[in-house]
Amino acid sequence: MPLPTPEHILRIAPDDAPRATVLFVPPLFEEANRTRRTLVLAMRALARHGLAAVLPDLPGQNESLVPLDQTDLHRWQEALAEVSATLDGPVIIASLRGGALIDHLASAAAWWRLAPIGGASLLRTLMRARVAADREAGLTSSLDSLQAEAATAPLLLAGNLLSPAMMGQLGSAAVEPVAPLRTVTLGSGANAIAGTPLWLRAEPGEDGAMAEAIAADIAAWSQTCGIS
């Protein structure tokens, strides 16, 4: 059997040797596209803080050659663990939204999570999009009928062909404990980042100030954790 093609990894690094590498775990599915631009701006900002940053493609996402219906959350967790193991120096894992559901198998010196969300909520939104699209097309479906369909065959949800394994794992996935961990939300206050929930947005946008805030918060957290 041929070896699987390695996934693309976007890497942005400072000119000098980095203090550590931030491994970004993007939100899942369409939310990843909506946030990618701002995430990459945050990666550039991290370089100015002396930190390298990598953003890997998950198998089945972006430029990956793996068909999406042949992957699931567990495979993504393993893929991230493999990426983490190849990185030199201390690794800080920074996950957004559903990314926080797959970031715990990888080894790291510290974790950082922004607006983590449970898998059930993500799945519900994807299934509702399918029901709404079906209704527009004059078809009748429901969350229950889709769930039943998904038990035995891959199901197309908002452009994503999801395997029964993926559906099952998403439905019950919760963020797992890791340490040391800093969790931030959007908003104001000590444990929040000011910005816009770009992952919700119907049309892609960017938030440069939020990218700077993300980078600054991760850089400060890395120092709190004694990574220098």
Partner 1 sequence: MTQAATVDTTLRALLADVLGLGEARAAALTDDSGLFGALPEFDSMAVATVLTEMEDRLGILIDDDEIDGEIFETYGNLLAFSLRKVTD
- Write out the residues near partner 1 by the rule CB under 8 A: 30, 121, 124-133, 135-136, 142-144, 158, 196-197, 200-203, 205
Q: Minimum CB separation from partner 1 for residue 202, in Å?
A: 4
SS3 of residue 93 by DSSP: strand
8 Å CB contact between 186 and 193: yes
Q: Which residues have CB under 8 Å from 55's CB, separation 6+?
A: 9, 10, 11, 24, 26, 36, 39, 40, 43
Minimum gap (Å) between residue 127 Cβ and partner 1? 8
C-alpha to C-alpha distances, 226 to 17, 219, 221, nearest whole angstrom: 17, 11, 9
> 112: closest CA among 90, 91, 95, 87?
95
Identify which of residues 183 and 196 has a Cβ nearer to partner 1 in the complex: 196
Task: Write down the least CB distance from residue 159 to partner 1, Å.
Answer: 9
Pick between residue 123 and residue 214 the one whose CB is nearest to partner 1.
Answer: 123
Using the minimum distance from each CB to partner 1, give the nearer residue, 17 or 132: 132
Which residue lies nearer to partner 1 by CB, 55 or 101? 101
- Quick one: how far is CA 31 from the chain centroid? 8
Both tokens of residue 186? Answer: 């959007």
Nearer to partner 1, 62 or 125 (CB): 125
